[in-house]
Structure 1
């Protein structure tokens, strides 16, 4: 049997007597590329039968919605490629062959044990199962942090008695509170991972010198910090917690110095904003993300995690909720965001999953990452940090911190700092004007 290929007029045997030689012999749909003489959707049905057919009748129920959604998805090629080629799909087939419904605990055990594709494949599969409601949503931040803690404790069991209470009673509660903000949990997971790793590294360094945490002095801390100052300052969180709980003497780890943010001039800032609002040659997602960045100074991780529900209509006006305060949008920006929300996803899992995000990503049910969004903006010459700095300074000049903080999702202390920076910049501007006109006045 021959296989019909794209741009070829050779057709397979079953199609020889069909009225349309370029239609699938099973369903009659047009086909541009076929596998075993069938279109993508029919081939997908066959693969789904193979994967889910191993389940006994008593265990099929939770997977019915997932199988139907995959079979009827707008882009069958995406689901077909996943089933054929991915480690996570092979992992799903192996698990379903066991004949019982999966649980989060089963996947956690597989992630800890390694195996096919490792923890990354397990987490990808978990995302698919949660997206299609086979598994319930859970506090993924807590689960991932606990799993990482278990890995670190397994490598260094002598540190577990200190790291476990630090993570569970200090690190996790703060991470959960911060994860409720629109930026989501991914950033907070990395934040927690870094602090666990640095705490373990510091304890290991002290052990290598024959010291316990209680024996460590400021000299040992300073020496360890000097070894790699760019990353080790995050141990401050653990050192402060240990001193407060009586596990060590008071030790000083200074905050890592940050360079003062540098903005762009006002003319360039408004020209970029005008380009995002009016230039239809730019990709729509770049225009929308760039406009929110330039107008509201939002961090890209928060822009990437904007849900579709953040955009709504109140009293006939389009509003955007970045944190707690609905912000009435100017018409050009409202039009760009509304067009983005109404645009169907072009390809990938975003086209096969329920629409939850203004900026959908390439993982099932997930939004785009801030890193990918940053690359897209940079590719179109939008300077991210300078643009955010200028936007926040302009807003801080006009709005008091008590208004700015809940509107943009900033901590009130951060809003006060931006207010002071804006006042400093304004004072410097006035001083420059006064100095520059003084000779003429004399």
Structure 2
């Protein structure tokens, strides 16, 4: 609560306390105005500790940025949605929010999802994997536009995409990656079925020529059709139609000197922000994608005996002391400032949004602002690791598929062969 009453004669002071008056609500300071708004918002709920919203109300009232929290309570769509839900007087569930999101526009669904992150952060709702629910919501939108293909698309998603989406959680903690992976495949399947339908063909009548022509007439994302056609052929819905793996440019790795110089800078340069140093070190040592780095939970770093270990997949990695100190300092760092800062974070790289981590794009821009390249560094790190360790050993450490690491090992062998040939072609001097 606000401090003791004082300064009532001061026209610029809050009449309840000595704090300056708010620019948002006239007459009171931000803290007092926030208390009044919270009392209105949670008026229909009980005041006891068993109240479903007691933790959220207390945390908002005590946050270190009352003006920001006050703005949210007064003017945000998610707060208005919460106000309406509280007026019903019924305990809130994930299923209630799922129903609301499915019946809303894209903007309305985003409001529901943001409110859900708040309720999860304050433990009003139990934690769950949100990706399958969002995949089903995306499927509902697609089938609403293409009802003639709804039966086939629903079967594909239910029996193929959703089970693998759930399994991928153990390998890819970044929800955005898994969601995009599923959405792209649904979109490609729907677009292909629609294109064939306009030519008067059913899926069983499509030929390889039709597939090849459709692939060449659009963007490279059409190659995501491969997954759907493999499933359709196995279920007897289509012939044996081939879609090549999407072509990708060969990654260009940075030179070793630059790679080790920037890695040393991340480990030793205290002038850099701590999160930049830690994420850069993980990138340059282990070749992790930025979406994997930002989705690392705080408990991925732990102490076992006298060693500090990092668990990326199944095998704990014993960290060298400079990186161990860096990640330990990061885990002990207070959460970023904001109106939800008093919520204990569960990510190594938390964002200012409740219960969320940074995005891969945001981290990439942050690294680039400090002169730390991303993709060339990842290529250099994976080439080096592939030279030093067999794929079967490296895969359970990094959480990558063995086939992926086999390709990097071949790339490392190719680079080494090219290096030897270049040295042999140099004139003796």
Please report the TM-score for the alignment, with normalisation by the length of structure 1.
Answer: 0.90
Question: Deviations for 1:112-161, whole angstroms, at most 9, x for unmatched residues?
Answer: 22269410000000111111111112231111111111111111111111
The 5 Å alignment of 1:372-391 reads: 372-391=362-381
- 1:266 counterpart residue number: 256
Shift of 1:171: 0.8
- 1:190 counterpart residue number: 180
Question: Deviations for 1:141-194, whole angstroms, at most 9, x for unmatched residues?
Answer: 111111111111111111111111100111111111112225332210111011
The 3 A distance-change label for structure 1 pair 406 and 116 is: closer
Match for 1:103 among 64, 78, 93? 93
Match for 1:433 among 420, 423, 428? 423
Shift of 1:40: 2.6
Give the match's secondary structure for 1:348: coil
CA distance in 2, matches of 1:276, 1:16: 53
Count of residues paired in the alignment: 424
- 1:44 counterpart residue number: 34
Contact between 1:393 and 1:419, CA under 8 Å: does it hold in 2?
A: yes
The 3 A distance-change label for structure 1 pair 117 and 95 is: farther
Question: Deviations for 1:268-301, whole angstroms, at most 9, x for unmatched residues?
Answer: 0011111112222222211111111011100100
Match for 1:15 among 3, 7, 26? 7
The 3 A distance-change label for structure 1 pair 39 and 325 is: farther
Contact between 2:64 and 2:338, CA under 8 Å: does it hold in 1?
A: no
- 2:165 counterpart residue number: 175
Match for 2:246 among 256, 260, 266? 256
CA distance in 1, matches of 2:298, 2:339: 17
CA distance in 2, matches of 1:210, 1:50: 60
Pair 1:135 & 2:128 matched? no
- 1:74 counterpart residue number: 64
Gaps of 5+ in 1: 1-12
Match for 1:324 among 310, 314, 323? 314
CA distance in 2, matches of 1:287, 1:197: 38
Match for 1:275 among 260, 265, 278? 265
Give the match's secondary structure for 1:97: helix
Shift of 1:349: 5.2
Gaps of 5+ in 2: none
Contact between 2:254 and 2:376, CA under 8 Å: does it hold in 1?
A: yes
Give the match's secondary structure for 1:173: helix
Pair 1:359 & 2:359 matched? no
- 2:283 counterpart residue number: 293
- 1:4 counterpart residue number: none
The 5 Å alignment of 1:200-349 reads: 200-348=190-338
Displaced runs of 4 or more, over 6 A: 56-60
- 1:5 counterpart residue number: none
Give the match's secondary structure for 1:223: helix
Contact between 2:21 and 2:28, CA under 8 Å: does it hold in 1?
A: no
Shift of 1:378: 1.6
Question: Deviations for 1:242-291, whole angstroms, at most 9, x for unmatched residues?
Answer: 11111011111111111111100000001111111222222221111111
Contact between 2:259 and 2:380, CA under 8 Å: does it hold in 1?
A: yes
**Range 402-411 or range 423-432, more displaced:** 423-432
Contact between 1:340 and 1:358, CA under 8 Å: does it hold in 2?
A: yes
Contact between 1:292 and 1:298, CA under 8 Å: does it hold in 2?
A: yes
Shift of 1:32: 7.7
Contact between 1:56 and 1:99, CA under 8 Å: does it hold in 2?
A: no
CA distance in 2, matches of 1:32, 1:434: 78
- 2:111 counterpart residue number: 121
- 1:7 counterpart residue number: none
Question: Deviations for 1:291-313, whole angstroms, at most 9, x for unmatched residues?
Answer: 11011100100100111111111
CA RMSD of superposed structures (Å): 2.4
Give the match's secondary structure for 1:313: strand
Contact between 2:172 and 2:178, CA under 8 Å: does it hold in 1?
A: no
Give the match's secondary structure for 2:163: helix
Shift of 1:220: 1.6
The 3 A distance-change label for structure 1 pair 424 and 174 is: same
Contact between 2:298 and 2:348, CA under 8 Å: does it hold in 1?
A: yes
Give the match's secondary structure for 2:302: strand
Contact between 1:88 and 1:117, CA under 8 Å: does it hold in 2?
A: no
